[in-house]
Amino acid sequence: MHDTTRSAYWQGARDGAPFIFVVSPFAMLFGVVSAEAGLNVFEALAFSVVVIAGAAQFTALQLLQDNAPTFVALASALAVNLRMAMYSAALTPHLGAAPFWQRGLIAYFLVDQTYACSVMAYERNKGWGLAQKTAYFFGTMTPVCPMWYVMTLVGAWAGTAIPPDYALDFAVPITFIALTAPMLRTAAHRAAALVSVVMALGFAWLPFNLGLMVAGLAGMITGAQIELRLRARGTWVDP
């Protein structure tokens, strides 16, 4: 059992390692933007350690720079991170029986990359027990999350010294495309994605990025309704 658990951990570390190439510039960009917004190195690092959610961090920072009310900044960041609730629900059948302290760490390190790797690995390895699944999850976060902290620190130190020609913001769309595209495996998934995109564009005129909240809620409602209808017809197939 010990050997299989160790093997699952290292498999997770290998699967998570490629994300270093997108997490690094993404985190560095956040550090740079934080410095430009007036945060010092410690504040930028603390932001990443406490929140550890890139899209939500960028959203909150941008809104605070625009002098948006604190409530709006927090609500918008929460809306961006609502997907974490769905991630948690999807992983609960696999990791819900773990000890409380492990579940606390899993909740903290539950990010797009750890979720995407874990949910696919659990589908491939039906015979894994709780120990192997938990080890795999922590393996996926090992190369990803510490790198998020380190590169945030590097970006905050570098500040505005990094030329804008480097275009580090390329990491943002690439990361989310790489994570979401393989998951659009059902009609509900695809409909939710389509509605979210259309609503985000249609409500881009709303102040303080409130269009993101509208788009996120509309996408989740659409996906849930389609799944319910397909289940009622008996045509739903679990992805």
* pLDDT interval class at 79 (50, 70, 90): confident
Find the domain containing 207 and state its range: 184-239
Check if the beta carbon of residue 133 is closer than 8 Å to that of residue 8.
yes
Tell me, yes or no, whether 98 and 29 share the same domain.
yes
According to the per-residue pLDDT averaged within each range, which of 68-72, 155-159, 232-236 is highest? 155-159
3-state secondary structure of 205: coil
> Quick one: which H or E segment has residue 146?
helix 130-158
Residues 6 and 50 in one domain: yes
Cα 99 to Cα 16: distance, rounded to the nearest angstrom = 23
- Judgement on whether residues 199 and 139 belong to the same structural domain of the protein: no
* Residue 160: half-sphere exposure toward Cβ, Cα within 13 Å: 6
What is the overall mean pLDDT for the chain? 84
Q: With 90 as the cut, is the pLDDT of residue 65 above it? A: no
Q: Do 163 and 233 fall within a single domain?
A: no
Domains contained in the chain, number: 2
Burial of residue 12 (number of CB atoms within 10 Å: 0-12, 13-18, 19+): buried
Residue 21 has pLDDT above 70, yes or no: yes
Sorting pLDDT into bands at 50, 70 and 90, what band is 176?
low
Give the range among 60-64, 172-176, 207-211 with minimum mean pLDDT.
Answer: 172-176
**Contact indicator for 144, 48 with CB cutoff of 8 Å:** no
Identity of the residue numbered 234: G
pLDDT digits (tens, 9 = 90+) for 118-143: 999 999 999 999 999 999 999 999 99
